[in-house]
Structure 1
Amino acid sequence: MTAASGSAEPDPPRARGRGTPSSSGVLRLPVQGPIALQAADFDAVIEVAMNSVADRWEETVGDGLLRDKLTPALAMLATAVRREAASDGIPSPIPVLVPARRMLDLFRQSFLEHLSASDGTPEPVQLLRILAGIERVQDRIDRDAAHRFASRLAGPDGLELVVEVAHDLRSPLTSILFLAETLHQARSGPINNVQERQLGLIYSAAFGLTSLANDVIELARGGDRLVDQQPLAFSITEVMEAVHDIVRPIAEEKGLKLRWSSNGSDSRSGQPGALSRVLLNLATNALKYTDDGHVEISAKQVTRTRMEFAVSDTGRGLPAEALPSLFESFTHRYKPGEYTFSSSGLGLTICRRLVSAMGGELEVASSAETGTRFHFVLELPDATGR
């Protein structure tokens, strides 16, 4: 139907096939044939653009959204855009579907492309109003999505939502770890020193995120699985070397010295997985907030069966006002960069819970002059039985 004559005529043939990316990488929908319109026929362009999005949705997006849900949602968006453009102060409902933002993005693109392909001359003021209306609808969609997400977090299933997000993060992060390790070991061909350092940084970052995702899941479910139920025989040297190797690229990138030391009997009985996670978390954050000097990871025999572990740095130190709430989850920083740990506080919460589960207590000493030292003592019998 052409807006100029108002008479019913067959729609022009529509090109089939998927949308194609432009030189800028933006997905472009196939444009229908030119339509005859006058300067004020923006409603006709809106309708054609929405129909184009509906016709090509499955081909360009392919999320399985059924037509009986897609068409009303697009009509609702079109009405909302018209109302916002008219600035009549009467808000129009917007769809609550997850892909509403994607619909609006495709509509904006289709609207502009059909407008440029039309025979009429757009009236500048009205065009600006419509584009501004699209932006206001987009803002409403974003605010609505944020509100719904916050409401679900505060609801009875909020904890499960956090767990779902953490689960979704683990699969791609595991793939990144595998690929980075494969490249780092030159299985796909030789690499130079710069590439080796860069791959080490990628691995360290992905490993840290994977550990965080695992910690969130375990903490959300009570933390009962944080520590192996039965003690295992392990080598303290192997634990220390593994932690050192993972965080070494971070130290090299910042020009910091990274040291580790151990004395006493090396073969012990305990929870090596939990111990590694604590030392890795503490060492990673010490490196993150140390600009000059060194970070040291140490294991010292206190008695025949007890070992003290410590991570110390020459960083800026912790502010005195932060210490009382240092081990609390979701504690925000007073000022950017002031804490030695993330603003969520999850890192230290997990560390303390792990150390407690292993029978120890995580303690901290800090000053602006000497830096920060986290330490704990664990009962780790000699695995050789001596």
Structure 2
Amino acid sequence: MSLLNYILIVFFIIISGIAGVYYRLYILKKKAYFLRTRENTKILVQIKALKKANDRLEISRNELQEINRNKDKFISIISHDFRGPLNSLTALLQILMKYAESFSKDELKDFGRNMDKSVHNLLDLLENLFKWSQSQSKQIEHRPEVFVLAELIYKTVNLLEPTAHNKNILIQVEVDPIIKVNADKHMMSFILRNLLSNAIKFTHKGGVVRITSQTKNNEVEIAVSDNGVGISKEVLSKLFRINTCFTSNGTENEMGTGLGLILCQEFVQKNGGIIQVESELKQGTTFRFCVPLVYEEVEVEL
């Protein structure tokens, strides 16, 4: 072997060694870069996850603060509603205790009727407050069942017929007698009783209240309408908000709590529906809500 060939072989070996070292360094550098990138990616993912969790916590904190503010205001409103009938009842009792002997039988009957109204207002408020408390603490379970809608409506009408009769208000029911729905019967009874009671309350003597139903796709829309005093646009926006809990007296100075409609909305939603209201001042009001319709299977003889 010539010297030149020997030198070329040595040079080739040296170059191959250097190339191998550089290649090895390249592989190590690439692996380190990959590992560093992967770690950075993990860190970025963790940072993003922490940021999302922090954002969710911030949203939850703001929501809880809003709920607490609303509940504080709600308690303040309810306390005010309690004060009204209690003050009336206390004043009437004080008058009776001081001047009972100077009143005639008719005057005493008037006092009795006014006291009865105050007591009933307090009972209604307590009932709605109890229902709302149960709802908030999840003690009210949604237990849907299939039942005939008209039967529940007529039962509710019969319950409130004496109140309507005292104001000479006609209650018209235009409901399909065979329609069945799938909903919580107790919640539905509460909704109908509140809406019908409000319709009677805000309708003048000699007025008309109508309860109707119509099927829409897989739902039944129930409407409770009156030709009473109506509701202004400003008040409409406050009806279903717990932080306002708007109340107003009826046409015969009947007291209201405002809590009933909030519960109605919650119970309608629990049954998979929505509640809406349409109204014009001095023209009347209509509340509409939907519940799931039940289709009866019909056997066909061939």
For Structure 1 versus Structure 2, the TM-score category normalised by the shorter chain is 0.5 to 0.7
Q: Deviations over 1:219-262 (max 9, x none)?
A: 22416344x53321211121011111011111111011111121
Match of 2:233 in 1: 320
Whether 1:218 aligns to 2:131 is yes
Structure 2: distance between partners of 1:244 and 1:363: 21
- State the match for 2:209 in structure 1: 295
Structure 2 residue matching 1:255: 3-state secondary structure? coil
- Give the aligned partner of residue 185 of structure 2: 272
Correspondence 1:371 to 2:284: yes
Are residues 212 and 239 of structure 1, via their aligned partners in 2, closer, same or farther at CA, if it must alter by over 3 Å?
farther
Q: Secondary structure at the match of 1:356?
A: helix
The structural deviation recorded for 1:385 is: 4.5
C-alpha separation in 1, matches of 2:221 and 2:254: 22
Q: 1:266 to 1:225 in 2, by over 3 A?
A: farther
Q: Distance in 2 between matches of 1:216 and 1:378?
A: 24
Superimposed CA distance per residue, residues 3-47 of structure 1 (whole angstroms, 9 cap, x where no aligned partner): xxxxxxxxxxxxxxxxxxxxxxxxxxxxxxxxxxxxxxxxxxxxx
Provide the rounded CA distance (Å) in 2 between the counterparts of 1:332 and 1:307. 28
Helix, strand or coil: the match of 1:364?
A: strand
Q: Does 1:242 align with 2:155?
A: yes
AA matched with 1:310: A
Structure 2 CA distance for aligned equivalents of residues 262 and 355 of structure 1: 19
CA distance in 1, matches of 2:145, 2:122: 26
Which letter maps to 1:296? R
Distance 1:336 1:248 in 2: 20
TM-fit CA distance, 1:209: 6.4
SS of 1:380's partner is strand
Going from structure 1 to structure 2, the CA distance change for 1:357 and 1:328 (only over 3 Å counts) comes to: same
Q: Name 2:165's counterpart in structure 1.
A: 252
Tell me the residue number matched to 1:350: 263
- Are the counterparts in 2 of residues 331 and 343 from structure 1 also a CA contact under 8 Å? no
Query: How far apart are the structure 1 equivalents of 2:246 and 2:144?
Result: 37
> Partners in 2 of 1:306 and 1:334 — Cα distance?
31
Q: Distance in 2 between matches of 1:335 and 1:210?
A: 17
Q: Distance in 1 between matches of 2:179 and 2:238?
A: 35
Note the aligned Cα RMSD (angstroms): 3.8
Q: TM-score w.r.t. structure 2 length?
A: 0.53
TM-aligned CA deviation for residue 319 of structure 1: 1.3
SS at match of 1:263: coil
The one-letter amino acid paired with 2:192 is L
What is the DSSP-based 3-state SS (H/G/I as helix, E as strand, rest coil) of the residue aligned with 1:329? coil
Report if the CA contact (8 A) 2:223-2:289 is conserved: yes
Q: Cα distance 1:234–1:210, how it changes in 2: closer, same or farther (>3 A)? A: farther
SS in 2 for 1:245: helix
CA distance in 2, matches of 1:263, 1:335: 33
Change (3 A) 1:223 1:356: farther
1:352 aligned partner, one-letter code: Q
Higher relative contact order (CA 8 A, sep 6+): 2
Partner amino acid for 1:298?
A: T
Q: CA deviation digits over 1:266-302, x for unaligned, max 9?
A: 2332212111110110110110110042011122222
Secondary structure at the residue paired with 1:325? Answer: coil
Partner of 2:294: helix, strand, or coil?
coil
How far did residue 332 of structure 1 move?
A: 6.2
CA contact (8 A) 2:245 2:259 kept: no
Deviations 1:332-367 (A, max 9, x none): 6587659x9966420111111111111111100001
Aligned-pair CA distance for 1:329: 2.8
Measure, in 2, the Cα distance between the counterparts of 1:309 and 1:225.
Answer: 27
Q: Which residue of 1 aligns with 2:46?
A: none
Shift of residue 315 of structure 1? 0.3
Amino acid at match of 1:300: Q
Mind listing any 5+ residue stretches in structure 1 that lack a counterpart?
Answer: 1-152, 166-201
Task: Report if the CA contact (8 A) 1:366-1:373 is conserved.
Answer: yes
Separation of aligned partners in 2, 1:213 and 1:311? 24
User: Paired residue for 1:381, among 289, 294, 299?
Assistant: 294
How many residues end up aligned between the 2 structures? 188
3-state SS of 1:327 partner? coil
